[in-house]
Structure formats: structure tokens, C-alpha cells
Amino acid sequence: MAIARVRLPPNIKKGDVVEVKTLVTHPMESGQRKDANGQIIPRKILNKFVCAYNGREVFRAELWPAISANPFITFFLVAGDSGSLKFTWTDDDGSTIEHSEEIHVA
């Protein structure tokens, strides 16, 4: 089971440029490695990451097999109003890992 972690600054004021740090547990198997029996480990990577702020997409990234396991993504956004940040990672098989955080703007 994937675990998503997000770190936001504790005190955010309207108009601040905020650094958002994300980390998700995922094997990110490229499909090129072999297991102990010599069998190829099937490809299983997260290929897309999207962050929405109060329903509006503010960041998107395409991920590739060269990304390490447990991908760490950091980006910046401008704080507007308090609300919700929704993070979505999409796997090769179409499954998603979702996480939400509330952002409190003073």
C-alpha cells in the first residue's frame, strides 16, 4: 500500500510563494531488472503527478522509468486562499494514489 507524505510551511500568508514537498512510497520498477530466479520484474511506474489547489490544476509532471523508487517531488505555488490541495499520482495500470492536505492562509 502506497503512503503519500506532504510537507507545507506552518505559517502561510496570502501571496506567499510556498514550497510544497511530496514523497510517495512506490517501487518504480523499470521492467529491466530481474528477480532472484532470473525472471524479469514487470514494469510498474508512476507516470503522472498532478496537484490541484481548490480544484484548479497548479502543477503537473510526467515521470519516467529513470525516476528512483519512492519519488520525491518539490514545487512552488503562490498562496491565494485557504482551501484544499489534492495530489494524484497515476500508475502505468491506471490506478491512482490520492492524498489531500488543507492549506491555511492567514
Q: Strand, coil or helix: what is 54?
A: coil
The answer to the question of residue 35 being in a domain is no
User: What CATH code is carried by the domain that includes residue 18?
Assistant: 2.60.40.10
Choose among 97, 105, 10, 94: nearest CA to 54.
105
* Cell 480544484 sits on residue: 55
| Segment 77-102 mean pLDDT | 97
The answer to the question of residue 63 being in a domain is yes
pTM over cut 0.85: yes
pLDDT value, residue 60? 98
Range of the domain at 61: 4-29+42-103
pLDDT tens-digit map of 29-69: 999 999 999 999 999 999 999 999 999 999 999 999 889 99
